[in-house]
Structure 1
Amino acid sequence: MSNSVNISVETTCENQIREIGYDGTELYQPPPTLSESLAKCAARIDFSKTSLDDLKKEEKSAAAAADEDKDATQFQESLWPWDAVRNKLKDALTEICVLSDVISIAQEQALSGCSIPC
């Protein structure tokens, strides 16, 4: 038998307090900008956990790089973390675009009053 649990999900409507003055006035810290939020999310990407496809691509590129010059292989090795960042950000952008499309379709259906796609 499973017990259900109510979960409350709320957004933080208040900004963080940066400073409280001697007269009791509070100075609030503005919310982070979109670029700051993106940089924070990109910093949380764990490069040690890559997908199986990425590992196969890395093995193929390592074999091809072994045939090349030593300087070229060092240059290629320094680029691979940025390729992973690019791929993960591209996947995230695709998911956000799909979510945006789904929300716009749902909103159009809700406004038009039909429950099935018209």
Structure 2
Amino acid sequence: MKLDTRHKIYGHTIAEHIDTLPDELEVDAVGLWQIVPAGRDGFQLGSAELTEFIRQCILALLASGAKPVKGGGGTKFDWILQTHYGESDLEIANSIVSEWLETGAGDVSPGGMWFALPSPSVGFS
């Protein structure tokens, strides 16, 4: 994956995208549904490069303190911490990428995997 590849609309590089992606965590969770199309459509990455892009984005989010979560739904949207992906950041990232590949490596539903910072305003069940 060439880290200097530029986004076809916004012009930033892959390296810049990965480095700044965790900045959104202060405002909102980041969904896998956002990461996949950024790589596939925005940076026009093929399968192997897209897989590595997703892994690197997840690693950046985890390194910033985010945890893998899914929505709890209901009248109050609570995050449900997903602990079954492993212990280390690399193990978690690899498990999530493997799951994505096993389910067809397609676009992801907004109801799927997210990454959120633990905080008093974000309830992890």
The two structures have a TM-score, normalised by structure 1, of 0.30
Highest RCO, 1 vs 2 (Cα 8 Å, sep ≥ 6): 2
Structure having the higher Rg: 1
Which structure features the higher share of strand residues? 2
The two structures have a TM-score, normalised by structure 2, of 0.28
